[in-house]
Every structure is written in structure tokens, then in C-alpha cells.
Amino acid sequence: MIKKISILNSNFIGVYARTWNDITFLPVNISEEDENIFKETLKTEIYKISIGNSFLIGSMLSMNSNGIVVADHGSDELLKSLNLNGRNILSINNKLNAAGNNIIANDHAALIHKSFPDSIKKKIEDVLGVETVKGSIAGVKTVGSVAVLNNRGMLVTSEADEDEIKYLSDLFKINVKTGTANFGSNYVGASIIANSNGILVGEATTSIELGRIDDTLS
């Protein structure tokens, strides 16, 4: 299932929400109507939270089936109070603490911002339980902003080249394609929220983009 939606009047929905196959995190001030759309489309438990008094949940948090990496704003204590199905939790105390922007992961691997210290890279690898490598996508170090993935597929910025696509496909062990959302935006990670159950895209996404996104992630 794929649907269009906006969050807090923004089409860049990936900035505000984060999902995996069983859990979705949404900002506390999302409307009940939009919350229901998330629940029906993604078929997960919904948790409405804030991170350091911020509603930018998607930018601040990254996760897979094994763990959650979150900005260090005391949010790890909040997360520990929730039923997260046994996930490990890591809060990052670093200038690169916007985990959703700087980490992209599935249940096979994680790609992280090149500037993470090796000590934090090791902690991320331990918490997510997957091979973790430093890198960029099409020269963009904030890898989470220009890519979105689940355990079925991965959509990356249209500026990624064939060598990168092959590398990412081998790393994450899924099919990788290039594309855009929100009427030509290469920031697909900021424009799309997806798990293995469903896909949500920003309202400005065109029908051609919808087809490409659906074909890649469904």
C-alpha cells in the first residue's frame, strides 16, 4: 500500500517520522487523522514522542529490528520506557547526533556519515547488530536524507551512479534504484517513510514518482 500525506503541513515527512516493520515513531502533535493513516498503511504500533523538545523524529532517530540510535537529548530514557520488542538503544553524544540524517540501516547493514569517530561507529554496529561502514551517497554525507530503504528495496537520489548502486545493493543485500519524490526532490529520505508493510510519500510526489517508489520498495 502506498499513500500520500503531509505532516505538520510539510511534504518532507521523513523529517518528522521513523518506522520499521513493527514500530513507528511520530511527533506528539500529529493529528489523530494522520496518525490513523500511518497506522493503517504501515501496520505497526504507534508511539508519539518528542526528542529534546523537537518534533523532527525522523531526523533524530534511526533503527532496524535490532536497535535504535537516537540523538542524546535524554530520549534514551523515554525509549527505555516503551515496548520496543527487545531492541538495544544507543544515544549519541556527538555533533553528528541527528541519527536519522547520518545513519541509514536495514537488517543487513548500516551506512553512516564519514565523520563519525571509529569509537561511535563500533557502538552503532553493536547496537544495530549489522555490518556498519562509513560512506556517502552521490557525495552527500547525510546519507539518511538521500536514501530510504526497507528489507525489500532501497531508493536513492537520482544523482547516484552505477558503481554506487552496485555497492549499496551488495552492502544492504537488496535491490537499489534511483529516483525522486515531492516533484523532483533528490532528498528521498526526507520525503518518504517506508517499511515492509507500506509506504507513505509527501503530497507533492507525482504519479510517475509514485510508480518508481512503489516498484522499488514494495
HEC profile for the chain?
CEEEECECCECCHHHCCEECCCEEEEECCCCHHHHHHHHHHHCCEEEEECECCECCHHHHEEECCCEEEEECCCHHHHHHCCCCCCCEEEEECCCCCCHHHHEEECCCEEEECCCCCHHHHHHHHHHHCCEEEECCECCECCHHHCEEECCCEEEEECCCCHHHHHHHHHHHCCEEEEECECCCECCHHHHEEECCCCEEEECCCCHHHHHHHHHHHC
User: In this predicted structure, which of 99-103, 125-129, 149-153 has the lowest mean pLDDT?
Assistant: 149-153
For residue 53, the model assigns a pLDDT of 87
For residue 61, the model assigns a pLDDT of 96
Q: Using alpha carbons only, how large is the chain's radius of gyration in Å?
A: 16
For residue 72, the model assigns a pLDDT of 84
User: Rounded mean pLDDT of 190-202?
Assistant: 98
Kindly list the domain boundaries of the chain, sorted by start residue: 2-217
Q: What is the mean pLDDT of the chain?
A: 96
User: Rounded mean pLDDT of 129-138?
Assistant: 98
Distances in whole angstroms, Cα of residue 95 to Cα of each of 85, 113, 161: 29, 11, 29
User: Rounded mean pLDDT of 56-76?
Assistant: 91
User: Rounded mean pLDDT of 189-203?
Assistant: 98
Query: Has residue 69 got a pLDDT over 80?
Result: yes
Closest listed residue to residue 90, CA positions, set 41, 37, 127 = 127
Query: pLDDT tens digit string along 144-187?
Result: 999 999 989 999 999 999 999 999 999 999 999 999 999 999 99
CA distance 139 to 90: 27
Query: Has residue 76 got a pLDDT over 80?
Result: no
Query: Do the Cβ atoms of 10 and 57 come closer than 8 Å?
Result: no
Query: Do the Cβ atoms of 168 and 137 come closer than 8 Å?
Result: yes
**What percentage of the chain carries pLDDT values higher than 70?**
100
- In degrees, rounded to 5, the angle at the alpha carbon of residue 216 between the alpha carbons of residues 19 and 66 is 35
Query: pLDDT tens digit string along 102-114?
Result: 999 999 999 999 9
How many residues does this entry show for the chain?
218
**Taking every pair of C-alpha atoms in the chain, what is the biggest distance, in angstroms?**
44
- In degrees, rounded to 5, the angle at the alpha carbon of residue 24 between the alpha carbons of residues 21 and 27 is 165
CA distance 70 to 60: 6
pLDDT category, 190, cuts 50, 70, 90?
very high
The CATH class of 2-217 is alpha beta
Query: Has residue 73 got a pLDDT over 80?
Result: no
Cell numbers for 57, please give them: 523524529
CA distance 158 to 109: 22
